[in-house]
Structure 1
Amino acid sequence: MTQRVEPVDALVVVDVQSAFVTGEGAVPAAGRLVDRTADLIARARRDGAFIAHLQNDGPPGSDDEPHTPGWELHHPVAPGPTEVVIRKPYDDGFEETALGTVLTDAGVRALAVCGVMSEMCVQATARTALELGYRVVVPHDAHATQDIPAAPGIAEAVPAATVSRVAAYALGSDAETTVPAAAVTFTAPSAS
Protein backbone atom coordinates (compact mmCIF):
# COMPACT_ATOMS: atom_id res chain seq x y z
CA MET A 1 0.00 0.00 0.00
CA THR A 2 1.30 3.46 -0.93
CA GLN A 3 1.89 5.89 1.90
CA ARG A 4 -0.43 8.89 2.00
CA VAL A 5 0.31 12.42 3.07
CA GLU A 6 -2.09 14.98 4.47
CA PRO A 7 -4.23 16.35 1.61
CA VAL A 8 -3.23 19.49 -0.25
CA ASP A 9 -5.80 21.90 -1.62
CA ALA A 10 -3.88 23.05 -4.70
CA LEU A 11 -1.66 21.68 -7.45
CA VAL A 12 0.88 23.91 -9.17
CA VAL A 13 2.00 22.43 -12.51
CA VAL A 14 5.21 24.19 -13.48
CA ASP A 15 6.12 24.63 -17.15
CA VAL A 16 4.96 21.26 -18.50
CA GLN A 17 5.28 22.69 -22.00
CA SER A 18 5.87 20.89 -25.28
CA ALA A 19 9.50 22.06 -25.59
CA PHE A 20 10.41 20.31 -22.33
CA VAL A 21 8.47 17.03 -22.62
CA THR A 22 8.50 16.21 -26.35
CA GLY A 23 11.10 15.98 -29.09
CA GLU A 24 14.84 16.47 -28.89
CA GLY A 25 14.65 18.98 -26.04
CA ALA A 26 12.63 16.75 -23.72
CA VAL A 27 13.94 16.03 -20.25
CA PRO A 28 15.31 12.48 -19.90
CA ALA A 29 12.37 11.40 -17.72
CA ALA A 30 9.68 13.05 -19.88
CA GLY A 31 7.47 9.97 -20.16
CA ARG A 32 7.37 9.43 -16.41
CA LEU A 33 6.87 13.15 -15.77
CA VAL A 34 3.93 13.37 -18.20
CA ASP A 35 2.31 10.28 -16.65
CA ARG A 36 2.71 11.56 -13.07
CA THR A 37 1.57 15.11 -13.80
CA ALA A 38 -1.46 13.88 -15.78
CA ASP A 39 -2.44 11.66 -12.85
CA LEU A 40 -1.99 14.49 -10.35
CA ILE A 41 -4.11 16.83 -12.49
CA ALA A 42 -6.88 14.23 -12.88
CA ARG A 43 -7.01 13.52 -9.14
CA ALA A 44 -6.86 17.22 -8.21
CA ARG A 45 -9.80 17.92 -10.55
CA ARG A 46 -11.78 14.96 -9.19
CA ASP A 47 -11.28 16.09 -5.58
CA GLY A 48 -11.99 19.80 -6.16
CA ALA A 49 -8.47 21.13 -5.55
CA PHE A 50 -7.34 24.38 -7.12
CA ILE A 51 -5.00 23.91 -10.11
CA ALA A 52 -2.56 26.49 -11.45
CA HIS A 53 -0.73 25.67 -14.69
CA LEU A 54 2.37 27.86 -14.95
CA GLN A 55 3.54 28.66 -18.48
CA ASN A 56 7.01 30.08 -18.96
CA ASP A 57 7.43 32.91 -21.45
CA GLY A 58 10.93 32.32 -22.81
CA PRO A 59 12.96 34.99 -24.60
CA PRO A 60 12.83 35.44 -28.39
CA GLY A 61 14.39 32.47 -30.16
CA SER A 62 14.07 30.11 -27.19
CA ASP A 63 12.25 26.78 -27.30
CA ASP A 64 9.51 28.25 -25.10
CA GLU A 65 9.14 31.59 -26.85
CA PRO A 66 5.49 32.66 -26.50
CA HIS A 67 3.10 31.49 -29.20
CA THR A 68 5.50 28.90 -30.64
CA PRO A 69 4.78 25.15 -30.63
CA GLY A 70 7.28 24.54 -27.80
CA TRP A 71 5.57 27.12 -25.59
CA GLU A 72 2.21 25.32 -25.63
CA LEU A 73 1.13 23.52 -22.46
CA HIS A 74 1.34 19.74 -22.85
CA HIS A 75 -1.71 18.89 -20.72
CA PRO A 76 -5.19 20.13 -21.62
CA VAL A 77 -6.50 22.79 -19.26
CA ALA A 78 -10.08 22.99 -17.98
CA PRO A 79 -10.25 26.74 -17.36
CA GLY A 80 -12.67 27.92 -14.75
CA PRO A 81 -12.83 29.16 -11.17
CA THR A 82 -10.66 26.29 -9.88
CA GLU A 83 -8.22 25.90 -12.79
CA VAL A 84 -6.12 28.68 -14.27
CA VAL A 85 -3.14 29.28 -16.53
CA ILE A 86 -0.61 31.79 -15.29
CA ARG A 87 2.09 32.99 -17.63
CA LYS A 88 5.38 33.82 -15.99
CA PRO A 89 8.49 35.72 -17.06
CA TYR A 90 10.84 34.35 -14.36
CA ASP A 91 11.76 31.03 -12.73
CA ASP A 92 9.70 31.80 -9.63
CA GLY A 93 6.02 31.36 -10.44
CA PHE A 94 5.14 34.01 -7.85
CA GLU A 95 7.42 36.75 -9.21
CA GLU A 96 5.42 39.41 -11.07
CA THR A 97 2.43 37.07 -11.57
CA ALA A 98 -1.02 36.65 -10.05
CA LEU A 99 -0.17 33.24 -8.52
CA GLY A 100 -0.09 34.49 -4.93
CA THR A 101 -3.36 36.37 -5.34
CA VAL A 102 -5.26 33.50 -6.95
CA LEU A 103 -4.06 31.04 -4.30
CA THR A 104 -5.05 33.42 -1.50
CA ASP A 105 -8.42 34.18 -3.09
CA ALA A 106 -9.10 30.45 -3.45
CA GLY A 107 -8.33 29.84 0.24
CA VAL A 108 -5.34 27.57 -0.50
CA ARG A 109 -3.17 26.56 2.45
CA ALA A 110 -1.20 23.58 1.12
CA LEU A 111 0.02 22.79 -2.36
CA ALA A 112 1.84 20.19 -4.39
CA VAL A 113 4.38 21.45 -6.92
CA CYS A 114 5.35 19.39 -9.98
CA GLY A 115 6.88 19.98 -13.42
CA VAL A 116 10.15 21.24 -14.91
CA MET A 117 12.94 22.20 -14.39
CA SER A 118 13.64 20.83 -10.91
CA GLU A 119 16.54 23.08 -9.99
CA MET A 120 15.10 26.21 -11.57
CA CYS A 121 11.36 26.91 -11.84
CA VAL A 122 10.11 24.06 -9.62
CA GLN A 123 12.54 24.86 -6.81
CA ALA A 124 12.08 28.65 -7.06
CA THR A 125 8.29 28.37 -6.96
CA ALA A 126 8.32 25.86 -4.09
CA ARG A 127 10.79 27.99 -2.11
CA THR A 128 8.61 31.11 -2.38
CA ALA A 129 5.52 29.07 -1.44
CA LEU A 130 7.35 27.97 1.72
CA GLU A 131 8.38 31.56 2.48
CA LEU A 132 4.73 32.61 2.11
CA GLY A 133 3.68 30.04 4.70
CA TYR A 134 2.15 27.34 2.50
CA ARG A 135 2.63 23.68 3.27
CA VAL A 136 4.53 22.39 0.24
CA VAL A 137 4.75 18.87 -1.19
CA VAL A 138 7.15 18.23 -4.08
CA PRO A 139 6.57 14.61 -5.14
CA HIS A 140 9.98 13.11 -5.96
CA ASP A 141 8.77 11.45 -9.17
CA ALA A 142 6.74 14.38 -10.54
CA HIS A 143 9.49 16.87 -11.40
CA ALA A 144 12.38 16.55 -13.81
CA THR A 145 15.25 18.35 -15.48
CA GLN A 146 18.11 17.94 -17.93
CA ASP A 147 21.52 16.34 -17.32
CA ILE A 148 24.21 18.83 -16.37
CA PRO A 149 27.08 18.42 -18.85
CA ALA A 150 30.62 17.86 -17.64
CA ALA A 151 32.74 20.92 -17.02
CA PRO A 152 36.31 19.86 -17.94
CA GLY A 153 38.65 20.45 -15.05
CA ILE A 154 35.78 21.21 -12.70
CA ALA A 155 33.27 18.35 -12.55
CA GLU A 156 31.95 15.26 -14.28
CA ALA A 157 28.49 15.26 -15.86
CA VAL A 158 25.62 15.08 -13.39
CA PRO A 159 22.64 12.88 -14.32
CA ALA A 160 19.25 14.60 -14.38
CA ALA A 161 17.84 12.34 -11.65
CA THR A 162 20.61 13.45 -9.30
CA VAL A 163 20.05 17.12 -10.15
CA SER A 164 16.33 16.72 -9.41
CA ARG A 165 16.97 15.04 -6.07
CA VAL A 166 19.47 17.68 -4.97
CA ALA A 167 17.12 20.49 -6.04
CA ALA A 168 14.32 19.08 -3.90
CA TYR A 169 16.64 18.32 -0.98
CA ALA A 170 17.90 21.92 -1.05
CA LEU A 171 14.38 23.10 -0.14
CA GLY A 172 15.10 21.89 3.38
CA SER A 173 13.04 20.00 5.91
CA ASP A 174 9.99 22.26 5.62
CA ALA A 175 9.10 20.83 2.20
CA GLU A 176 7.82 17.28 1.82
CA THR A 177 10.08 15.90 -0.93
CA THR A 178 10.35 12.14 -0.42
CA VAL A 179 6.78 11.12 -1.22
CA PRO A 180 5.79 9.74 -4.63
CA ALA A 181 3.07 11.40 -6.70
CA ALA A 182 0.76 8.47 -5.95
CA ALA A 183 0.87 9.38 -2.24
CA VAL A 184 -0.41 12.93 -2.79
CA THR A 185 -4.05 13.40 -1.90
CA PHE A 186 -6.27 16.38 -2.62
CA THR A 187 -9.14 18.27 -1.11
CA ALA A 188 -11.05 21.40 -2.03
CA PRO A 189 -9.72 24.62 -0.50
CA SER A 190 -11.55 25.99 2.54
CA ALA A 191 -13.14 29.40 2.23
CA SER A 192 -10.89 32.10 3.67
Structure 2
Amino acid sequence: MTTLPNRPNTALLVVDVQKGAVDGSHNRDSMIANINTLVDKARAEDVPVIWVQHSDDHLKRDSEAWQYVPELVRSPSEPLVHKLYGDSFEATELESLLAERAVGRLVVTGAQTDACIRDTLHGAFVRGYDVTLVGDAHTTEDLTEYGAPTPELVVAHTNLYWDWQSAPGRRGETVDTAKVTFATGVAG
Protein backbone atom coordinates (compact mmCIF):
# COMPACT_ATOMS: atom_id res chain seq x y z
CA MET A 1 0.00 0.00 0.00
CA THR A 2 2.95 2.40 0.27
CA THR A 3 2.62 5.75 -1.44
CA LEU A 4 6.14 5.40 -2.84
CA PRO A 5 5.92 4.49 -6.54
CA ASN A 6 7.71 1.36 -7.75
CA ARG A 7 8.81 0.40 -4.23
CA PRO A 8 7.29 -3.07 -3.64
CA ASN A 9 10.01 -4.46 -1.36
CA THR A 10 10.31 -4.77 2.40
CA ALA A 11 13.40 -4.19 4.56
CA LEU A 12 14.21 -5.03 8.16
CA LEU A 13 15.49 -2.03 10.14
CA VAL A 14 17.54 -2.70 13.28
CA VAL A 15 17.76 0.57 15.22
CA ASP A 16 20.34 1.39 17.89
CA VAL A 17 20.73 -1.98 19.60
CA GLN A 18 23.93 -0.66 21.11
CA LYS A 19 25.44 -1.62 24.46
CA GLY A 20 24.82 1.76 26.05
CA ALA A 21 21.26 1.95 24.73
CA VAL A 22 20.01 -1.47 25.84
CA ASP A 23 22.13 -2.64 28.78
CA GLY A 24 19.69 -2.97 31.66
CA SER A 25 16.67 -2.29 29.44
CA HIS A 26 13.31 -3.98 29.80
CA ASN A 27 13.17 -7.37 28.01
CA ARG A 28 16.73 -6.92 26.68
CA ASP A 29 17.59 -10.58 26.13
CA SER A 30 14.29 -11.67 24.60
CA MET A 31 14.22 -8.56 22.41
CA ILE A 32 17.71 -9.33 21.06
CA ALA A 33 16.77 -12.99 20.51
CA ASN A 34 13.70 -11.88 18.54
CA ILE A 35 15.79 -9.50 16.42
CA ASN A 36 18.21 -12.34 15.69
CA THR A 37 15.26 -14.49 14.58
CA LEU A 38 14.11 -11.71 12.26
CA VAL A 39 17.60 -11.08 10.88
CA ASP A 40 18.00 -14.79 10.12
CA LYS A 41 14.59 -14.90 8.44
CA ALA A 42 15.27 -11.77 6.39
CA ARG A 43 18.63 -13.11 5.22
CA ALA A 44 17.09 -16.46 4.29
CA GLU A 45 14.45 -14.64 2.22
CA ASP A 46 16.97 -12.23 0.65
CA VAL A 47 15.29 -9.25 2.36
CA PRO A 48 17.54 -6.24 3.01
CA VAL A 49 18.66 -5.81 6.62
CA ILE A 50 19.70 -2.27 7.43
CA TRP A 51 21.43 -1.42 10.69
CA VAL A 52 21.25 1.98 12.37
CA GLN A 53 23.76 3.26 14.93
CA HIS A 54 23.25 6.39 17.01
CA SER A 55 25.91 8.81 18.27
CA ASP A 56 25.47 11.53 20.90
CA ASP A 57 27.00 12.71 24.18
CA HIS A 58 26.02 9.42 25.88
CA LEU A 59 26.91 7.18 22.95
CA LYS A 60 30.20 8.64 21.80
CA ARG A 61 31.30 7.27 18.45
CA ASP A 62 33.78 4.38 18.78
CA SER A 63 33.21 4.08 22.56
CA GLU A 64 32.30 0.75 24.16
CA ALA A 65 28.73 1.98 24.82
CA TRP A 66 28.38 2.95 21.14
CA GLN A 67 29.13 -0.60 19.91
CA TYR A 68 26.33 -2.93 18.86
CA VAL A 69 25.56 -5.70 21.38
CA PRO A 70 27.73 -8.75 20.69
CA GLU A 71 24.69 -11.02 20.24
CA LEU A 72 23.81 -9.23 16.99
CA VAL A 73 26.25 -9.54 14.12
CA ARG A 74 25.90 -7.43 11.00
CA SER A 75 27.00 -8.99 7.73
CA PRO A 76 29.56 -6.83 5.90
CA SER A 77 27.15 -6.66 2.94
CA GLU A 78 24.40 -5.09 5.08
CA PRO A 79 24.35 -1.29 5.22
CA LEU A 80 25.12 0.54 8.45
CA VAL A 81 23.51 3.97 8.82
CA HIS A 82 25.11 6.37 11.30
CA LYS A 83 22.74 8.92 12.82
CA LEU A 84 22.79 11.87 15.18
CA TYR A 85 19.03 12.37 15.60
CA GLY A 86 16.17 10.19 16.82
CA ASP A 87 14.63 9.74 13.39
CA SER A 88 16.82 7.34 11.41
CA PHE A 89 16.04 9.31 8.23
CA GLU A 90 17.23 12.73 9.48
CA ALA A 91 20.56 13.75 7.93
CA THR A 92 21.39 10.15 6.92
CA GLU A 93 21.57 8.09 3.75
CA LEU A 94 18.73 5.77 4.85
CA GLU A 95 16.25 7.05 2.27
CA SER A 96 18.70 6.57 -0.61
CA LEU A 97 19.58 3.05 0.60
CA LEU A 98 15.90 2.14 0.69
CA ALA A 99 15.24 3.70 -2.72
CA GLU A 100 18.13 1.72 -4.25
CA ARG A 101 16.49 -1.45 -2.95
CA ALA A 102 12.95 -0.43 -4.03
CA VAL A 103 11.76 -0.61 -0.41
CA GLY A 104 8.32 0.79 0.40
CA ARG A 105 7.67 -1.12 3.63
CA LEU A 106 9.79 -1.21 6.77
CA VAL A 107 9.80 -3.74 9.59
CA VAL A 108 11.20 -1.87 12.61
CA THR A 109 13.01 -3.24 15.66
CA GLY A 110 15.41 -1.85 18.26
CA ALA A 111 15.79 0.83 20.93
CA GLN A 112 14.69 3.13 22.56
CA THR A 113 10.93 2.68 22.22
CA ASP A 114 10.03 6.16 23.43
CA ALA A 115 12.72 7.97 21.45
CA CYS A 116 14.46 6.65 18.35
CA ILE A 117 11.90 3.92 17.62
CA ARG A 118 8.95 6.31 17.76
CA ASP A 119 10.85 8.97 15.84
CA THR A 120 11.78 6.49 13.12
CA LEU A 121 8.26 5.04 12.91
CA HIS A 122 6.78 8.48 12.36
CA GLY A 123 9.63 9.58 10.09
CA ALA A 124 9.06 6.61 7.80
CA PHE A 125 5.30 6.97 7.86
CA VAL A 126 5.25 10.64 6.86
CA ARG A 127 7.71 9.85 4.06
CA GLY A 128 5.20 7.42 2.54
CA TYR A 129 6.31 4.04 3.91
CA ASP A 130 4.11 1.30 5.30
CA VAL A 131 5.64 0.59 8.70
CA THR A 132 5.42 -2.58 10.76
CA LEU A 133 6.59 -2.37 14.37
CA VAL A 134 7.65 -5.71 15.81
CA GLY A 135 5.93 -5.58 19.18
CA ASP A 136 8.28 -7.94 21.00
CA ALA A 137 11.48 -6.68 19.36
CA HIS A 138 11.86 -3.16 20.77
CA THR A 139 12.73 -1.88 24.24
CA THR A 140 13.43 1.12 26.40
CA GLU A 141 15.14 2.00 29.65
CA ASP A 142 13.38 2.82 32.91
CA LEU A 143 12.69 6.56 33.00
CA THR A 144 10.07 6.50 35.77
CA GLU A 145 12.18 8.85 37.90
CA TYR A 146 11.47 11.50 35.24
CA GLY A 147 7.73 10.86 35.26
CA ALA A 148 7.56 8.33 32.43
CA PRO A 149 5.49 5.16 32.71
CA THR A 150 7.32 1.90 33.40
CA PRO A 151 9.18 0.42 30.42
CA GLU A 152 6.58 -2.34 30.08
CA LEU A 153 3.83 0.27 29.73
CA VAL A 154 5.84 2.39 27.28
CA VAL A 155 6.33 -0.67 25.05
CA ALA A 156 2.67 -1.72 25.41
CA HIS A 157 1.36 1.76 24.64
CA THR A 158 3.59 2.14 21.59
CA ASN A 159 2.46 -1.26 20.32
CA LEU A 160 -1.17 -0.27 20.85
CA TYR A 161 -1.13 3.11 19.16
CA TRP A 162 1.09 2.05 16.25
CA ASP A 163 -1.29 -0.77 15.33
CA TRP A 164 -3.96 1.84 14.55
CA GLN A 165 -1.92 4.17 12.32
CA SER A 166 -3.29 4.86 8.88
CA ALA A 167 -3.17 7.59 6.29
CA PRO A 168 -4.04 7.76 2.59
CA GLY A 169 -2.16 4.98 0.82
CA ARG A 170 -0.20 3.70 3.81
CA ARG A 171 -0.56 2.14 7.22
CA GLY A 172 1.18 1.14 10.37
CA GLU A 173 0.78 -2.11 12.22
CA THR A 174 2.20 -3.98 15.18
CA VAL A 175 2.93 -7.71 15.05
CA ASP A 176 5.04 -10.04 17.13
CA THR A 177 8.14 -11.77 15.78
CA ALA A 178 6.36 -15.06 15.09
CA LYS A 179 3.86 -13.31 12.78
CA VAL A 180 6.29 -11.17 10.79
CA THR A 181 6.28 -11.78 7.06
CA PHE A 182 8.48 -10.01 4.57
CA ALA A 183 6.39 -11.00 1.52
CA THR A 184 5.33 -8.16 -0.74
CA GLY A 185 1.76 -6.98 -0.23
CA VAL A 186 1.23 -9.13 2.88
CA ALA A 187 0.47 -7.57 6.24
CA GLY A 188 2.35 -8.79 9.28
Fold in common (TM above 0.5)? yes
TM-score when normalising by structure 2: 0.83
Tell me the CA shift for residue 65 of structure 1: 1.1
Does 2:41 match 1:50?
no
Q: Does 1:184 align with 2:180?
A: yes
Please point out which of 48, 66, 85 is paired with 2:80. 85
Q: Paired residue for 2:35?
A: 37
Contact 2:53 2:80 in 1 (8 A): yes
The 1-side partners of 2:61 and 2:99 are apart by: 27
Please tell me whether the aligned partners of residues 22 and 141 of structure 2 are also in contact (alpha carbons under 8 angstroms): no
Question: Percent of aligned positions with the same letter in both sequences?
Answer: 28
Structure 2: distance between partners of 1:36 and 1:8 = 22
Deviations 1:24-46, CA, capped at 9 Å, x for gaps: xx212101111111111111111
CA RMSD of aligned residues (A): 1.9
Shift of 1:147: 2.1
Change (3 A) 1:120 1:51: same
What residue ranges of structure 2 are gaps of 5+ in the alignment?
1-7, 167-171
1:12 lines up with 2:6 in the alignment: no
Residue pair 1:8, 1:184 contacting (<8 A) in 2 also: no
Shift of 1:122: 0.6
For structure 1, the 5+ residue unaligned runs are 1-6
- Structure 1 residue 119: deviation in Å? 1.1
Structure 1 counterpart of 2:76, which letter?
A: P
Distance 1:65 1:106, change over 3 A: same
User: Aligned equivalents of 1:12 and 1:87: distance in 2?
Assistant: 13
Match of 2:115 among 102, 117, 120: 120
Q: Calculate the TM-score normalised by the size of structure 1.
A: 0.81
1:98 to 88, 93, 100: 93
Q: Which amino acid aligns with 2:53?
A: Q
Contact 2:21 2:65 in 1 (8 A): yes
Q: Evaluate the alpha carbon distance shift between residue 114 and residue 13 of structure 1 in structure 2; reply closer, same or farther with a 3 A threshold.
A: same
Do the aligned residues in 2 keep the contact of 1:48 with 1:186 (CA within 8 Å)? Answer: no
Q: By how many angstroms is 1:21 displaced?
A: 3.1
**What is the total number of aligned residue pairs between the two structures?**
169
Identify which of 60, 69, 72 aligns with 1:65.
60
Mapped contact 2:55–2:83 kept (Cα < 8 A): yes
1:163 is matched with 154
Q: Which has the higher strand share?
A: 2
Q: Match of 1:141, SS?
A: strand
Shift of 1:169: 3.6
* 1:123 Cα deviation after fit: 0.8
Give the Cα separation in 1 of the matches to 2:123 and 2:42.
22
Distance 1:48 1:92, change over 3 A: same
